[in-house]
Amino acid sequence: MSVTTTPPSTDVSLLADHDVESTYRSVNNVQLHVVAAGDPDAPLVVLLHGHPDFWYGWRDQIIPLVEAGFRVLVPDQRGCNLSDAPDGIDAYRLSKLSADVCELIHSEGRDSAHVVGHDFGGFVAWNVALRHPSIVDRLGILNVPHPTVYRETLTSSPQQIARSWYVWFYQLPKLPEWMLRRNGMDNMVSSLEITSNAGTFDEETIERYRAAWRHTGVHPRINWYRGFRRSDSPPRTTVPQPTLICWGKKDIALLPSMAKKSVDYCENGQLRMFPDASHWVHHERENVTEALLRHLSHSSPS
């Protein structure tokens, strides 16, 4: 596991003006750094980041959720920022990542929670809902398709195959690690800038991301994608929980047609498209936070 003697300042001190705390939870044989906020007895929401993100990617949603009456947990998923980074590709299979979320919810003394995921965190959220349906009250998904839709699209759409080039690249040995580490992780920075609208990530924010990446290194991040390729399909395909999918239509990596197809795999699904937003839709559109608040509060969408 990756260890440093002096942890970087990428804990909850980044939100020092708010009533939030960094905690550590031992779940599923790993220790996760988890940002926690809100009344411990309030309805629970778990926010799951993707790649190359860490908990800080949800900074614009944490306080609005707390103010709306929720308890919020935002983990650094395994291999990221201040959480443990176990060795081996199999440690990053979706079944392991999903089990982390289940045990995190149980660490709060809860049987279930609302679960919201973006990017790779969205794949984890889909998997929790499909593998452990009793754990998820309501599901929120940002810019990642239902796993069946993604798998089927990759076998039928040359356009999506081309857009998913990085998934295949990350399967190569050693070369991806070298590419992402070089020049102070400039390629990781580029992955933020290329996939977002201009101005989404300012220089101060980018430096915070660099600090998080340096702590655990890039190898665990790449193992997310290697573990993804080794993961078994969930035991069911239809999501029983009320589900909201928010999708930035200018996502350069994922076809927007997959968002519409994903709703068909939800018994009670809603889709909100944001035509001028990128893959980082929750950073770029306040309406995403508002839509999540309505969905998680059991209100009807506008």
Residues designated catalytic: 119, 225, 279
CA 300 to each of CA 47, 147, 212, 292: distance values in angstroms, whole numbers, following the listed order: 21, 26, 38, 11
* Helix, strand or coil, per DSSP, at residue 115: strand
Give the CA-trace dihedral at 196, 200, 204, 206, to 10 degrees: -10
In 3-state terms the chain splits into helix, strand, coil percentages (rounded to 5) of 45, 20, 35
Give backbone dihedrals phi and psi of 36, rounded to 5 degrees, phi first: -125, 140
Place of tokens 């299979």: 93
How many Å apart are CA 157 and CA 20, to the nearest integer? 44
8-state DSSP, 123: H
Q: Which of 160, 119, 139 is nearest to 280 (CA)?
A: 119
Q: Which DSSP string do the residues of 206-262 spell out, in sequence order? A: HHHHHHHHHHH-SHHHHHHHHHHHHPPPPS---EEEEEEEEEETT-SSS-THHHHHH
